[in-house]
Amino acid sequence: MIHLAAGNILFKTGSHQAAITLRGSCSFEGGILTGMIGANGAGKTTFLKILAGLQSPERGQVILNDRRLADLSPQQKAEAIAYLPQDRRIQWPVKACDLIALGRLRYGRSLNRLNQQDSHAIAHAVETTKTGDLLDRSMDSLSGGEQARILLARALAVDAPILLADEPLAALDPGYAMQIMEVLSQEAQKGRIVVVALHDLTLAARYCDRLLLWHRGEIVADGKPETVLTQEWLEQCYHIKAISQNYRGHWLVTPYDRVDS
């Protein structure tokens, strides 16, 4: 079983102010879709980058299966963790099919020397994200939502046991947003660790098994959606009043007013 944990993390910005403070340990297990929520600037992106090994904390460490993430080689990290960044703008004329195939390069092969395992992983990623009709298109000709789906397919093509996605629903219409959340849920059900930063609270509540609520660089709530998305936390962290209710077995969060901070 794959296991990822971060302990006693302190990360400072260039101004030497603490951007992330994690007291104690936050761990992730395979088979659980974890959503990270919180206002802009709360610390979600920074924490994902630390989990991915892309940023080093001032204090604390990330442990992957009893080994310090910092001690792993770039190749080992690349094979263990697929990371989908928040900034996904592609403005150069690469074909969508080639961009997806780039997810296999971390295994030390070139695009013209992919093997059967690579081809299977790519085909599965394309089928899962329903992007087959986009493969021959140039990335710079695709809409923002179409690019987002191709880049998710690239992350899935890595076939890594850990998938970290930063706002994968940005630029997606409601139908595709639900489809992507279904994909992420299915990947978690396969035993992967899936951690995703989200702003859509209703989709977070509907699809995530666990929510981490970030506020001013700290995790202030950790648990099932119905225990995290309370009026108290929504007012404190988002400055909103909202109706949280169960509708046909799905938890819905509907903001209806702002709260002056």
- Give the domain ranges of the chain: 3-258
Please write the tens of the pLDDT for every residue from 50-85. Answer: 999 999 998 999 999 999 999 999 989 999 999 999
227: number of Cβ within 10 Å: 11
Q: Which residues contact 252 (CB under 8 A, 6 or more apart)?
A: 202, 205, 243, 244, 245, 246
CATH topology of domain 3-258: Rossmann fold (3.40.50)
Please write the tens of the pLDDT for every residue from 129-174. Answer: 999 999 999 999 999 889 999 999 999 999 999 999 999 998 899 9
Please write the tens of the pLDDT for every residue from 2-61. Answer: 999 999 999 987 665 557 888 778 999 999 999 999 999 999 999 999 999 999 998 999
Q: Say what the pTM is.
A: 0.93
Using a 10 angstrom Cβ sphere, with 0-12 exposed, 13-18 middle and 19 or more buried, the burial of residue 71 is exposed
Report DSSP letters for 138-185, one per residue. BGGGS-HHHHHHHHHHHHHHT--SEEEEESTTTT--HHHHHHHHHHHH
Report how far residue 167's alpha carbon sits from residue 187's, in angstroms, rounded to the nearest whole number.
17
